[in-house]
Structure formats: C-alpha cells, structure tokens
Copies of this chain bind each other. A is one copy, B any other.
Amino acid sequence: MPPLTQPVPAAEERSHEILASIRQAFAEKGFDGASMQDLARAAGMSVGNFYRYFPSKAAIVQAMCGYDLAEIQGEFAEIQTSDRPMACLRERILNQFSEDSQKDGQLWAEITAAAIRKPEIGEAARQMEETIVSLLTAIFAQATGRPVAEARLRYEGQCQMLVMLVKAMATRTAQCGPASPALAAQVVAVIDRILTEISNDKAEG
C-alpha cells in the first residue's frame, strides 16, 4: 500500500529535510548535549539560517512530533479503510517492534527525559499521545459499532496501555538491543488479549 502523500509547501518540505538530517545528531548527543551549532552543522546550514527555521530546541521537538504524527495519521487512515482493521492494527503495532524502531527509541528516550524537565516539550509529547489514543479509539469504535465518545471512555485504559507498551519496547530496544523471544511473546500476548477483548465487546443490536 502506498503511503498517503499530500503536496507540502516548499518551506515545509525544507523543514522536513532539515529535521531528517539532524535527527541522528539529536538522538546521539542528547537534548542538552546537542547545541544549536551542532544541529545547524548536521543540517549543513549556517547557524543564522538554521535559527530561521527552528528558533529553539523545543521548536525542533514540536516539529518532529508533528511530522511523526502526520505519518502515524496516514498509517491509521490505511488501517481504518482496510478490510480487517483490527488485524491490520495488530500487524502495524507488531511492526513497531522490528529493528527499525531502535532509532525511534533513542529519540523517544531523549524526548521523554526532556519532556519531564521542559513544559513546552512535555506539551508536545502529551499531544502526541493524546492524538494516538484518539486514533486508536476511532478504530475500536468502528470495530465494536459503538459511538466514539462511548469507545473513548470504555477503552481509555487499553489505548493508554498500548501506547505505553510500544514506547517502552522502543526505548528498551534502543537501550538493550532486540527483546528476547520470551519478552516479545509476553508483549504480544498482552496486545492480543487487549485487541481480542475489544473485538468481542461489540455493541448490542
């Protein structure tokens, strides 16, 4: 399935390129360790020009969260229009545990630490989790034939648990390498239990 693509304005596209080029430097040196000079250098730009795109590290994190979220929204749009949304969701969640997620885990560990210290970063991270919970809720509402508001109350804990598990696994993989098969089996069992429970919780009538 091709990813959802939308035409983006030139400035936004340039921001996206810059973010991609500094992602590695940001993750490797850490939120405080990477100076704006380091980041400008990684982007191959003068510091002055770099500041025009991103006036602060918080602005960088907010933009990164925004782009990641756009990607996640595209994935959820595909899930929702697939033949079997719950099976498709399961597959996407398990894909998150592949080796690719290692770099994301490093970045997430940095953002998490910074989010606790800096309110503006905390806000960006909270909005991201909140949006993912809403996207999950929409899938669960569809799968159970329940109104979104009802699904939101009913599956809040399950949605938060799924987000926490995916994040914990990404961070752990970045720190310790791929999970043991035994740990992976435990995580998959929890996810399957949650998804099965919701699939079987159809609204009456």
Contacts and interface: CB of A to CB of B under 8 A. Distances in A.
A95 to B, nearest CB: 19
The prevalent SS among residues of A at the interface is helix
Interface residues of A, number: 47
Given A30-B31, A116-B109, A183 B161 contact: yes
Nearest to A173: B116
Interface string A106-130: 1001101111110000100110010
B117 A30 contact: yes
Interface string A160-185: 11001101110110111001111111
A109 to B, nearest CB: 4
Given A31-B30, A32-B33, A113-B109, A183 B164 contact: yes
A186 interface: yes
Given A28-B117, A32-B33, A109-B109, 6 more contacts: A30-B113, A122-B175, A126-B175, A157-B180, A157-B181, A160-B180
10 contacts: A28-B117, A30-B31, A31-B32, A31-B113, A32-B33, A112-B171, A112-B175, A113-B113, A129-B176, A167-B168
